[in-house]
Amino acid sequence: MNPRRNKRGKTKWQPGPDRSRKPSFQKLEDVNNLKSRILTYVGQGKFDRARQSLGFLRENSQDRLDLLAKSLCDLANQIPQSDWKLELYREAEGLNPGDPITLNSYATALANVGQTDRAFQLFDRSLELKDTETVTLTSYATALANVGQTDRAFELFDRSLELKDTETVTLNSYATALANVGQTDRAFELFDRSLAVKPEDKITLLQFGLFLEAQGRYFDAIEYLERIPLAKTGGRWAGFVCLNLGRLCYQANQRSKASEWFERAVEYSDDAMASKLYAARHILATDPYSKDAVAILQAITEAMPGHGPALRMLHLNLGLKEQYERFGSDSEEDERQDRELLNRAIYHKILNEIGIFKGIAQRLAKKTESEALRRIIEDIEAISEGIARRRDAASAQLETVPADDYDRILRTIADTAHDISDFVNNEMAVLKERVRRLSKRAEDAALTDKFQRLLGQIEFTESGLNDLKAINETIRLHVNAFPVRDLFANWQQNPELGDAVITVHMDNPDSVFHGDEQKIKAILKELVDNTRKHNPPKAKLRIRLISRDVDSLPDYVLPGKNIPGKRKYLHIGYRDDGEGIPEEKKDWIFQPLKTTSAEGGGLGLFIIRKTVRTMRGYILERGVYGTTDGARFEIYLPYGAEQ
């Protein structure tokens, strides 16, 4: 309103220009300022202030709903909290349901949190609106590949490249998906094409480097990652590259160079403690129990005594003495997190084996045009979907369980693992029989070999399923009373097992022990199986089992530590006359998913140790490599479980 004078000299108010209607460039500037403010508040953890500013953004954009939808997508893309991210995408879709980019962004976010059914619906809607959008085709293909639907994924990747064969995002994503199902030659070709388009593209160089790492080509991987222009990249991304270079250098046994890269990662980071934690994690992935990693973790906990992740990693990687001094016995929370981590790793392994199985079947189906093989491929896809459904159901169930209800949480995890294992084992048994029948009907030797490879892949999958069951069977102990002699009765009655001769000596056959008899027997069987597996050239293996009661732990179990009071232990000794365990491998033989055998899954000794620790006991290996002693394990289990 503008004041004007009338003839009588009095002020009269008249409408002037509407200052609330700002020029479009000024409105855009206000929107960008609000978005920047929201992201700043989120980064500072001030979520109430962020939501308040989001309200201002909505008010400021009421006459431009398309602009508001785009702003919400921009925010969702940068906000780390998945629930809020999905909330913003959902609102953006409601404001602009006909925008393919909005639909694609929302679908990608849903796929990343496992809501694939809804994600695929949105991808389909986006392609109905614009079927030539390479971003949507690539995102959809990547989401499909991540859940094992590789046929459809590869079809969409090919469509995207037909539209634009120089799109590096598509080339890299396609190459990664191919590598994940074992088609490495084609993956190499696509990575090369991507680098020919953008020789210094940081994403391509990183993904190709990680691909080379998976092939065991560590020095080549380092070479490609070192080509990334860190000065141009800057910030967190540069720190992430440095962390990966440090990890690769550790794998290539370039320890001093690895330390330099880890130090550079800290320099680039705006959170030094987080970068140090990642550095320690990368070192431990290659070198479990590493003194360098332990020193980093101890430095973190000295600066921040309550740093939970660093404390948990220390707990897993300190020696027995240091662990006892610092933490005492295992906590329930650590046990739950360890088991969840292992379950995720083994689920990934099973899905990977199933994906490889499917890839072999697809190549065979193309060559033979076999309808039976196509049905097998459909059944494989159904198995992957069945696993996903069961895991989603378990996640939903766990959300209803109180965080401190340890028994119910572990029981749910274990029940899900057993359900999935039984389901997949049953389905695989049917597939195995069908593949065998096809193999018998094969017309030439080359085709028979391929069917045999299919059968071998089924066995790899079954091995993963057995691992999944095994790590969850140590959750609960079934304690009963039994004489010690019962532990060794089978070996006394059947002293020869293939190429191994087993002798038993007991000083305490009549002692009554309260514990889980079946699990202790399983430990002994696993040790015998390990000896046979790791010493195949030896014509005749000799294994000796001994047992006795001791009134205290030997000093070398917890050196320098006096445990208050006295406690009686059942001591079980295991010795073989095989090659033994090299000194450089002793530090990590009890670590999960680590193995010294091409046949092993890396869980046997880990499960033994977890079982022994659940019984409040100790296990250690004391053999001397290169002598006639071979492997030498000592187990100490406390009496008194009946109390």
DSSP structure string for 570-610: EEEEEEE-S----HHHHTTTTSTT--SSSS--S-HHHHHHH
Residue bearing tokens 């925010």: 75
At residue 7, the pLDDT reads 45
**Mean pLDDT calculated for residue range 389-400:** 82
Q: How far is CA 171 from CA 101, 123, 151, in A?
A: 20, 20, 17
Report yes or no: 279 and 266 within 8 Å, Cβ to Cβ. yes
Per DSSP, the chain holds a count of helices (H) and strands (E) of 27, 10
Q: How far is CA 552 from CA 267, 275, 483, 557, 566, in A?
A: 49, 43, 20, 10, 6
Pair of tokens at residue 150: 């590789």
Residue bearing tokens 């109430």: 48
Cα dihedral 284, 290, 296, 299 sign? positive
Report yes or no: 360 and 450 within 8 Å, Cβ to Cβ. yes
At residue 22, the pLDDT reads 47
Tens digits of per-residue pLDDT, 545-569? 999 999 888 877 876 555 555 678 9
Q: 349-353, 479-483, 599-603: which has the minimum mean pLDDT? A: 599-603
Question: Phi first, then psi: what are they for 602, rounded to 5°?
Answer: 80, 25
pLDDT at residue 602 is higher than 50: no
What ranges in 403-514 are assigned the alpha helix state H?
Answer: 406-440, 445-472, 485-493
User: Whole-prediction pTM value?
Assistant: 0.48
Tens digits of per-residue pLDDT, 489-517? 888 888 887 778 899 999 999 999 998 88
Report yes or no: 265 and 283 within 8 Å, Cβ to Cβ. no
At residue 383, the pLDDT reads 84
Tens digits of per-residue pLDDT, 191-207? 999 999 999 888 889 88
Tens digits of per-residue pLDDT, 146-183? 888 889 999 999 999 999 999 999 999 999 899 888 88
Residue bearing tokens 């680039």: 268
Q: Which amino acid is at 203?
A: I
At residue 315, the pLDDT reads 60
What integer best gives the mean pLDDT of the chain?
Answer: 78
- Residue 599's pLDDT band, with cuts at 50, 70 and 90, is very low
- Residue 538's pLDDT band, with cuts at 50, 70 and 90, is low
At residue 342, the pLDDT reads 53
Residue ranges and CATH numbers for the domains of the chain are 25-268 (1.25.40.10), 332-472 (1.20.120), 482-638 (3.30.565.10)
Q: What is the rounded distance in angstroms from the CA atom of residue 187 to the CA atom of residue 174?
A: 7
**Mean pLDDT calculated for residue range 412-417:** 75
Q: What is the rounded distance in angstroms from the CA atom of residue 516 to the CA atom of residue 519?
A: 6
